[in-house]
Amino acid sequence: MHRLRVYPKRFFWRVYWAALAASLILDGVWLYSHAVHYHFEFQYFPEFFALFGFIGCMLLILIAKGMGLFIVKEEDYYEKRFEKGNPVK
C-alpha cells in the first residue's frame, strides 16, 4: 500500500517566489551588462519578457472569455438539433 500524499504546496510556492525575484533582478543585471543579445529592439525593453508573459496570459484569458459569450453552448448542442427530425446524422 502506497502512502497517499498531498502535493508539495509550500515547497512549490517558496521556489516560485524565489525564481520570480531572481528573474526580475537578473534581467536588469544582464541587460545592463550586455550579456543578452536579442534580434529586435523591443526585446531590450526592461523586463520585456515578464510583461509579455503576464499581460499576454491575462489578455489571452480575457479575450477568450469574451469570445466564449458567443460560442460556448450547452453540452448537447448538436445532439439536440439532430434529434428534432433533422435527417443529417
Partner 1 sequence: MTAWVHPGMVIALGGLLIPFIPWRVVKQAYFLMLPLAGLALLVLTSSGMFGDVPAFPESFRPFSLPFLDYTLHPVRIHHLSLLFAYVYVIAAFCMNIYALGVKNDWEHTAAMIYVGSALGAVFAGDLLTLFFCLEIMSWAPFFLLLFRGTKKAMGAAIRYVLWHHFSGVCILAGILMHIHATGSLEFGPMPWGYEKTHLGSQLMLFGFLVNAATAPFHSWLADSYSEATPSGSVYMTAYTTKTAVFCLIIAFSGVKLLMWAGVASAVFSVFMAVLENDGRRLLSYHIVSQVGYMVCGVGIGTAMAVNGAAAHAFCHIIYKALLYMGVGCPLLVVGTSKFHELGGLYRYMPIAFWLTIIGGFSISAFPLFSGFISKTMTIEAAERIHEPIVYLMLEGASIGTFLHTGLKLPWNIWLQGRTEPPPEVRSRLNDSAVNTPVHMLAAMGILAFLCIFLGVYPKILYDMLPYPVEFVPFTLTRVFSITQMFIFTFLGFWVLRRLVKGYPGYVLDTDWLVRIPGGCLLRFCTGPLQRMGARLDRMGKRAADRIVHALRNPETEAALNPSLAGAGILAALILFVFFIARHL
- Residue 48: Cβ within 10 Å count: 15
CB 89 within 8 A of CB 82: yes
For partner 1, what does the binding mask look like between residues 61 and 80, x meaning CB under 8 A? xxxxx-xx--xxxxxxxxx-
Quote the least distance from Cβ 12 to partner 1, whole Å: 10
Q: Does 36 bind partner 1 (CB under 8 A)?
A: yes
Q: Does 51 bind partner 1 (CB under 8 A)?
A: yes
Q: Does 10 bind partner 1 (CB under 8 A)?
A: no
Cα–Cα dist 45/51, whole Å: 10
**DSSP string of 44-64?**
GSTTHHHHHHHHHHHHHHHHH
Contacts with partner 1 by CB under 8 A lie at 1-7, 16, 19-20, 23, 26-27, 30, 35-40, 42-43, 47, 49-58, 60-65, 67-68, 71-79, 81-82, 86-89
